[in-house]
Structure 1
Amino acid sequence: MSKLGSRLKSMKKTVEKVQHGILRTNIPAGMAAAGPPLGPMLGQRGINIAAFCKDFNERTKDIKEGIPLPTRVYVHPDRSYEIEIYKPPAIYFLKQAAGIQRGAMKVGHEVSGKITLKHIYEIAKIKIEDPPLQIRTLEGICLMLCGIARSLGLEVVKNLDAKEYGEFLKERAAIVEQQKKELQEKKEAKMLRTG
């Protein structure tokens, strides 16, 4: 009986080393690499890192390189896996549509960009293909996107004049540069205090 018990104990240890379940991460299209942060996450789960990277990059070769793709990796007990690749995050689409790099620092007090209702609708049509959102209505996804846009400091408008918006983006770029400078000064002042 003790022989059987020790054998079960050693088998249990082996099974515990391999983490099963789901790995949720964003991986840039066509840029999966063995280095951190992806390599260690896959290694902990016993997945062949080189094979995974090759598989992922092959499946995303038709997508513009570098676009962040939410990815779910389902790891099986035999260390095999299934990859489920979703559409890029809503924040990525909203920033692209608004032509901005970053959202507002003080949400509610500043406008980081503007986006039309047509943009919201088009993004919703893309995002509805993601499995978690397939149970929602298009209207529900549009409302969700409007909320995300507000959290970025984006103003949702009916129509947008290209010339006016170009001027707005130029003014906004100057504000962003000033904010970056202020952040850098605060960081340097903090380092001087702690040093």
Structure 2
Amino acid sequence: MSKAVRRNVKKIVEKINHSSKLRTDIPAQMAVAAPPLGPQLGQRGINIAAFCKDFNEKTKHIKEGTPLPCRVWVKPDRTYELVIHSPPATFLLKQAAGIQRGTMYPGREIAGKVTLKHIFEIAAIKLQDPPNALLTMQDMCNLLIGSARCCGIEVVKDLDPVEYGQFLEERKSIVDQQKKELEEKKQAKMLRTG
């Protein structure tokens, strides 16, 4: 192999980027240099303050605290490419149902309800994400119905607001009871190991 060919091969090899992309969820408008985000960025040689400022600026139109899945590709010159996806499907489903958490026993109890219109609107949002670009609206709706089922959210055609409000009030007492049981189990476990 001649020197010129070797030199060209060396230039091509140096341009290959072997760094992995960073996948993380960052709350909208709340990127800070504190852990866990700061150390993840620092390991990759990214200017943390500039990244936080850039992220917070890009997400200022989104409600503060909304979790946003992000993908960050670091280039050899320590610049980065940031792709911000829409909030996770489970987050959007729980927001539509008006609940804070899903059920502890999917299939045996109902945590909340959403209509087919909610599913369609969430599917329209999720189809904008690059990983979902090849899915049809029907595929996305089917995926969302499956996610709703896993969270204990029932999908219905129509929803009466008064009746649903009563359902949520009844559900609140069940959730409080479940939290109390979990706390008791946690305390009992701490006593056994202590």
TM-score of the aligned structures, taking structure 1 as reference length? 0.89
Q: Distance in 1 between matches of 2:85 and 2:30?
A: 16
Question: 1:110-125, aligned counterparts within 5 Å?
Answer: 110-125=109-124
8 Å contact from structure 1 (residues 128, 134) kept in 2? yes
Q: Distance in 1 between matches of 2:18 and 2:64?
A: 30
Question: 1:47-126, aligned counterparts within 5 Å?
Answer: 47-126=46-125
Deviation at 1:19, TM superposition (A): 7.3
The corresponding residue for 2:5 is none
Task: Give the RMSD, CA atoms, in angstroms.
Answer: 1.3
Q: Distance in 2 between matches of 1:140 and 1:82?
A: 29
- Cα deviation digits, residues 106-139 of structure 1 (max 9, x gap): 1111101111111000100111111111110000
Q: Distance in 2 between matches of 1:120 and 1:63?
A: 20
Q: Quick check: 1:152 aligned with 2:147?
A: no
Q: Percent identity at matched positions?
A: 66
The corresponding residue for 1:141 is 140
- Matched residue SS, 1:33: coil
- Cα deviation digits, residues 8-46 of structure 1 (max 9, x gap): xxxxxxx9xx97221001101110000001001001111
8 Å contact from structure 1 (residues 19, 44) kept in 2? no
**Structure 2 unaligned runs (5+)?**
1-13
Q: Distance in 2 between matches of 1:52 and 1:69?
A: 15
8 Å contact from structure 1 (residues 21, 76) kept in 2? no
TM-score of the aligned structures, taking structure 2 as reference length? 0.90
8 Å contact from structure 1 (residues 19, 45) kept in 2? no
The corresponding residue for 2:7 is none
Q: Distance in 1 between matches of 2:121 and 2:180?
A: 35
Q: Distance in 1 between matches of 2:61 and 2:115?
A: 28
Q: Distance in 2 between matches of 1:54 and 1:21?
A: 23
The corresponding residue for 2:41 is 42
**Dislocated runs of 4+, deviation >3 Å:** none
How many residues align? The count is 179
**Structure 1 unaligned runs (5+)?**
1-14
Q: Distance in 2 between matches of 1:158 and 1:93?
A: 18
Q: Quick check: 1:162 aligned with 2:161?
A: yes
